[in-house]
Structure 1
Amino acid sequence: MNLQNLRIFLKVAELEHVTRASEELHLSQPAVTKTIQSLEQEIHLKLLERQGRRIVLTHAGRVLKEYAFQIFALEREMEDELTALRDVEGGEVRLAFNRTAGVYLLPLVVSRFRARYPQVTLHISILNSPEIVQALLNWQLDFGLVESESSLCPAELYVEMTTRDELILVVSPTHKWSKVQVLPIAALGQGELIMREEESVIRGMIEQALDRHGVRMHSLFTLTDNEAVKQMVMSGVGAAIISAFSVQRELMRGELVHVPVSNLDLRPRLSLMRREDKLLSPAARAFCSVLSPILEHGLETIRGLALEGE
């Protein structure tokens, strides 16, 4: 099978759109269409079918897409290994962090890595944890940091290292809970909480914890972004249970107050995962060596940065 034809098919499969694929590949639309038809004739199977104005992959198309991901991931590994033989500081790293770690941990990691390995190209994505797991399974990443317990890691993936976050209740200094020594967990059902969307892993953890204590949550409203939640709380709109990573600077400055909650101990695990059968390039291994001590001292590292900012 011609690899260039397979590369063209993969772009069409990713975008599910022939015209956009042709534009990204700098090819004419008829040329892309002809390539797909040639592949279909070669394997005697239909790869695409039309549903109204859009195209979708057939079962054969989905199978070929998965293998194409693996083939080109292996091709990138080969190129990285050959590059490393020429220049140990060259190569590329493809990684993804979940949204909280991507905002509050990743900049520190990248800054330290770039200082030591300026020639390495980084391809970084900020995704939800389920999206990262799927991208790892599809051979699209070298590794990804996800909010997940090691026991929930898919069989094809390997947990390289882990750290713990902490979920804490925060309010503004003017909020009615700001002077409370320890808040009864039942108070969290009073409609004061600003919550993330229902699909959020963090929201799921909070709801499960409250359910265990017979507390039914009534949220004030929901937002899809941690920073938006934080700004709302700082403005005195309501309270939030949020990642301790995300609020260290505001706690140091007195812009937010941490309110302990009785019987509530939420410490989600952050796991750095990769495919067990994927060979990491020297560049990817170097990135792991920079990331490892930062993850090992995760929350302490962020607190230290907050103190430096003061």
Structure 2
Amino acid sequence: MNLQNLRIFLKVAELEHVTRAAEELHLSQPAVTKTIHSLEQEVHLKLIERQGRRIALTNAGRVLKEYAQQLFSLEREMEDALKELRDVEGGEVRLAFNRTAGVYLLPLVVSRFRARYPQVTLHISILNSPEIVQALLNWQLDFGLVESDTSICPPELQVEMATSDELILVVAPTHKWSKLQVLPVTALNQGELILREEESVIRGMIEQELERHGVQIHSLFTLTDNEAVKQMVMSGVGAAIISAFSVQRELMRGELVHVPVSNLNLRPQLCLMRRADRRLSPAAQAFCAVLSPILEHGLEAIRASTFEGGR
């Protein structure tokens, strides 16, 4: 099978669109269409079906896509291994962090890694946790940091290291709860909470924990972005239960106040996952070595970095 034809098919399969694939590959649409037809004739199976302007993969197309992803992942691994033999300080790392860790933890890791390994190329994506898991299963990443229960890790993946975040209640200094030593958990049904959208993993975790205490949430309103939630709270509009990683700077500056909540235990796990059957390159191993102590110390590492940055 011609690997260039397979590469063109994979781009079409990933984008589910012939025209867009042609644009990204700098080829004409007829050339891409002809390549797909050629592959179909070669394997004696229909690979795609047109659905309006888009395409859908047949079962054979999905099977070929999966094997193509594995094949080209192995090709990249081979190229990285050969490159590292020429230049041990070089290489590439493909990684993804979930949105909270990507905004508040990743910059610290990248800063330290770049100081030690300036020649390594990093390809970084900020995705939600299910997207990271799928990208790992599709051979698109070396590793990813996800918010997940380690007990439900897919069998193809393994957990390299893990730490815990903490979800805490924060309010503005002017809020009516700001001077409380402890807030009764039952007070969270007063319609003061600004929440993430219903599809949010964090929101689901909050609702499940409050349900355990017999508390039903009546939200003030919902937002789809952690930074928007934080800014709204800082402006004095309501309260929020939010990642402790995300508010260290504001807590140190006194722009937000942490209000302890009785009997509330919200500690989502952050797990570094990778494929169990994929060899990590020296560059990827070096990145993990930089990441490991930061994950181990979690909030303390972020607090220290925040303090140094604020001096």
- Shorter chain as normaliser: what TM range? over 0.9
Alignment of 1:72-151 (within 5 A): 72-151=72-151
Aligned to 2:251: 251
Local SS of the residue matching 2:242: strand
Note if contact 2:17-2:53 (Cα within 8 Å) is conserved in structure 1.
no
CA distance in 2, matches of 1:224, 1:66: 32
Structure 1 portions without partners, runs of 5+: none
Can you list the C-alpha shifts for 1:57-83, whole angstroms capped at 9, x where unaligned?
Answer: 111111111111100000000000000
| 1:147 positional shift | 0.4
**1:19 CA displacement:** 1.0
Q: CA deviation at 1:28?
A: 1.2
Q: Which runs of 4+ in 1 moved over 3 A?
A: none
Report the Cα distance in structure 1 between the residues aligned to 2:69 and 2:54, rounded to whole angstroms.
22
CA–CA distance in structure 2, aligned partners of residues 6 and 281 of structure 1: 25
2-side partners of 1:152 and 1:179: how far apart?
A: 40
Which AA in structure 1 matches 2:302? I
Q: CA deviation at 1:52?
A: 2.1
Q: What's the CA shift for 1:198?
A: 1.1
2:261 is matched by which residue type in structure 1? V
Displacement after TM superposition at 1:306 (Å) = 2.2
| TM-align CA RMSD | 0.8
Deviation at 1:184, TM superposition (A): 0.6
In 1, Cα distance between equivalents of 2:160 and 2:64:
29
Cα pair 2:18 2:54 within 8 Å, conserved: no
The aligned residue for residue 7 of structure 1 is: 7
Q: CA deviation at 1:201?
A: 1.1
CA shift, 1:298, in A, is 1.0
- Structure 2, unmatched stretches of 5+, are none
Deviations 1:109-157, CA, capped at 9 Å, x for gaps: 1111111111111100000000000000000000000001211111110
- Amino acid in the other structure paired with 1:295: L
How much does 1:286 deviate? 0.8
What's the offset of the Cα at 1:96? 0.2
Q: Distance in 1 between matches of 2:74 and 2:15?
A: 21
Aligned residue for 2:70, secondary structure, equals helix
Q: Kindly provide the amino acid, as one letter, of the partner of residue 243 in structure 1.
A: S
1-structure distance, mates of 2:160, 2:55: 38
Q: Which position in structure 1 is the counterpart of 2:176?
A: 176
TM-score scaled by structure 1? Answer: 0.99
Q: Which residue of 2 aligns with 1:49?
A: 49
Task: Name the aligned partner's letter for residue 276 of structure 2.
Answer: E
Q: TM-score, normalised by structure 2?
A: 0.98
Alignment-derived partner of residue 63 in structure 2: 63
Matched, 1:228 2:228: yes
In structure 1, give the amino acid aligned to 2:240: A
Residue 208 of structure 2 aligns with which residue?
Answer: 208
